[in-house]
Amino acid sequence: MSGQNFNIMIVGQSGRLMYEAVLFAASLRAQSPGFRGRLYVAVPQPGPLWPSRDPSIRNDLVLATLDRLEAQILPFESQVFGQSYAYGNKIEALAALPEGEPFVFFDTDTLITGELTSVPFDFSRPSASLRREGTWPKPTLYGPGYAAIWRSLYTRFDLDFDSSLDRDQPDEYWRRYLYFNAGYFYGACPRAFGKRFLTYARTIRDDPPRELVGQSLDPWLDQIALPLVIHSFGGGRSSLPPGHLDGEVSCHYRTLPLLYARESDQVVATLEEVSAPNWIKKVLKGYEPMKRLIYQGKGHRVRALFDRENLPRREQAIRNRIKSEGLWMR
């Protein structure tokens, strides 16, 4: 399956994401010369669901750099989410991709660190990132529990709940239930995948099962709907062998301070190598956190705060330490 052509989509818009898009594209071109698909930067367009800001990319230098990196700008209209739930961009943008062509979506805060064509994708069995914590749901003392909450969602969409379980994990432990980070996901047809993703997410938002009363949907809505979509297309947690994405080939760093704090020396070296050319540097220095962390060396001050062999178990503890040193920037 690794020899298949496929397209990549990221979402870019004004502000931080457009700079992350440049960094992503630079890492893709440097680290994956074998990639022969198209790189799309999906850009939401201004409209009624963006009442107080224009989300489109208007920076000429950013646009010229993306063009030089052979990234194709893909405008799309926000019909359901927009400014009220910007994570919904990754759902709505799928409808703008070419129908029937396999796709991989990445969050822009991702670095490509190896050859993407070496990843053994089976696009007929979609999957997503398993680099996640048990962020949703948060069962209350008096219930319902994990099983009842997740079962209610599978029932709502006529899906088989029992076949989604990881029976190696104990009952009422969050890892037993299909749950992904939406930092990457892939499938055979972006329009079919996106249509179902949008239907599920909008239904959960507008008409949630009663078992979801008291559960926060923001910002978790995309990650609540995603496992249901993947399961409905016959995919799951074991569709992709471990060690490729979120491993040797890609790094979802989330924020640059977290990258410097916890990622490997190879990831840091890749970041600094792909951001070094003057024509890339000229763009990225326009974003203050990249200027200070990458080019002024403050990232290595963050790195010196932590022992990568003995990191705090919770991400929040890492964040708090960085903030206490005045080095948290995003």
Q: What is the pLDDT of residues 11-30, one digit of tens each?
A: 999 999 999 999 999 999 99
- The residue-averaged pLDDT of 112-116 equals 97
Q: What is the pLDDT of residue 3?
A: 55
Q: What is the pLDDT of residue 2?
A: 47
Q: How many angstroms separate the CA atoms of 210 and 63, rounded?
A: 46
Q: What is the pLDDT of residue 286?
A: 97
Q: How many angstroms separate the CA atoms of 329 and 241, rounded?
A: 34
Quickly list DSSP for 124-156.
TS-EEE------S----TTS--HHHHHHHHHHH
pLDDT tier at 243, thresholds 50, 70, 90: very high
Q: What is the pLDDT of residue 53?
A: 92
Q: How many angstroms separate the CA atoms of 84 and 202, rounded?
A: 13
The candidate with the shortest Cα–Cα distance to 319, out of 254, 227, 229, 226, is 254
Residues 6+ apart with CB under 8 A from 16: 287, 289, 330
Mean pLDDT of the chain: 96
